[in-house]
């Protein structure tokens, strides 16, 4: 078996073990970094952006006009958020994000990219047959809903502003954050009622 045929997860594990054995990385520090991206930096930041847009129409307009600047207002700066374009899902238009070249993704807002996002099948098929891929992922959209696929790149990353679900009108910004998922901000899911 050649190195190209070894699954990336096994290669990463072998690399981590080698670097640890040679004293070049501390596994505890590496676990802390992963934990940060999975739990602190991750989808919670994006959810806070979406909840603010839902509860503050002026911020929502700024977010759609200049996603990078609006996100920066909330303090989410850093790698992967240098240029973020935000698109809004509506009852007639559904946006979904893919990176056809690799797996460009706004880590600062969404945390670590899920394995399916990096999968070559997702990257290729979402562009060609988005309705089918979304249905396979559990999101069935009516035929009259237009699906727009956005290709992330190292220059531009995309964030989907999901539709606010009915029945959330009286919920506070903090309460809304708990409803918002990473998958909805990528566009492969909708947010259900509370």
| Residue 99 annotated in ligand binding | yes
Active site residue 9: no
Picking from 141, 21, 129, the residue whose alpha carbon sits closest to that of residue 91 is: 141
Active site residue 83: no
| Residue 104 annotated in ligand binding | yes
CA 98/CA 127 separation, integer angstroms = 8
Which member of 83, 99, 115, 152 is catalytic? 99
* Non-local CB neighbours of 112 within 8 Å, separated by 6+ positions: 34, 37, 38, 42
| Chain mean position to CA 158 | 8
Residues written for the chain: 194
| Residue 103 annotated in ligand binding | yes
| Residue 83 annotated in ligand binding | no
CA 105/CA 109 separation, integer angstroms = 9
CA 194/CA 165 separation, integer angstroms = 8
CA 39/CA 37 separation, integer angstroms = 6
Q: Across 123-181, where does the E strand assignment appear?
A: 146-151, 157-161
Residue positions annotated with a catalytic role: 99, 102-104
Known binding-site residue numbers for Fe(3+): 99, 102-104
Known binding-site residue numbers: 99, 102-104
């Amino acid at each position: 078996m050649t190195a190209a045929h070894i699954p990336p997860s096994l290669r990463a594990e072998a690399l981590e073990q080698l670097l640890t054995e040679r004293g070049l990385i501390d596994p505890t520090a590496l676990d802390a970094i992963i934990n940060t991206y999975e739990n602190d930096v991750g989808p919670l930041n994006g959810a806070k952006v979406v909840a603010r847009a839902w509860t503050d129409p002026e911020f929502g307009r700024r977010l759609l006009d200049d996603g990078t600047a609006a996100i920066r207002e909330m303090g989410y700066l850093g790698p992967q958020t240098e240029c973020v374009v935000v698109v809004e899902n509506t009852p007639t238009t559904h946006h979904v994000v893919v990176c056809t070249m690799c797996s460009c993704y706004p880590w600062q807002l969404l945390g670590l990219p899920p394995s399916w996002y990096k999968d070559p099948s997702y990257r290729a098929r979402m562009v060609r047959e988005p309705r089918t891929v979304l249905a396979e992922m559990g999101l069935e959209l009516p035929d009259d809903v237009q699906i727009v696929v956005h290709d992330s790149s190292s220059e531009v990353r995309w964030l989907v502003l999901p539709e606010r679900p009915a029945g959330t009108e009286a919920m506070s910004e903090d309460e809304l954050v708990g409803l918002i998922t990473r998958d909805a901000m990528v566009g492969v899911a909708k947010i259900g009622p509370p």
